[in-house]
Amino acid sequence: MSADKTAAAYEVLSPWAEADPIPLKGLSPRLDKLDGKKIGLLCNNKRAAPLILDATEKLIKKKFPTATVSRFFARSFSVSSLEKDREAEFNKWLKGVDAVIAAVGD
């Protein structure tokens, strides 16, 4: 930093944009247990995602044998943001599950 006390002073404006407060949403009620529940496995198109969910499915079957699983494969990073044409299909799948475990590959 300059120690020159005679250097010109600049009064400067902030480059950081204003943003409005966003209405906040709470989380959905949790399940009491996973036994007997239908667990949705949501997989995006990153290649680690299906492998993560394969490992998850194995553990669900081992630890919660009465639970069932159902998968949904996104064609992109995010089905809800980038695949508006599949909204009805995704919502239908979502209605049929009790909870979702998502793998996004990151």
- The verdict on 98 binding another protein (CB under 8 A) reads yes
The answer for residues whose C-beta is within 8 angstroms of residue 52's C-beta and 6 or more apart is: 103, 105
Say how far apart CA 87 and CA 84 lie, in whole Å: 5
- The verdict on 31 binding another protein (CB under 8 A) reads yes
Cβ closer to another protein: 33 or 66?
A: 33
At residue 50, what is the residue type?
Answer: P
Say how far apart CA 82 and CA 85 lie, in whole Å: 9
- The verdict on 99 binding another protein (CB under 8 A) reads yes
Contacting positions for another protein (CB under 8 A): 1-2, 4, 7-34, 40, 42, 44-48, 50-52, 55-56, 58-59, 63, 74, 76-82, 91, 94, 97-106
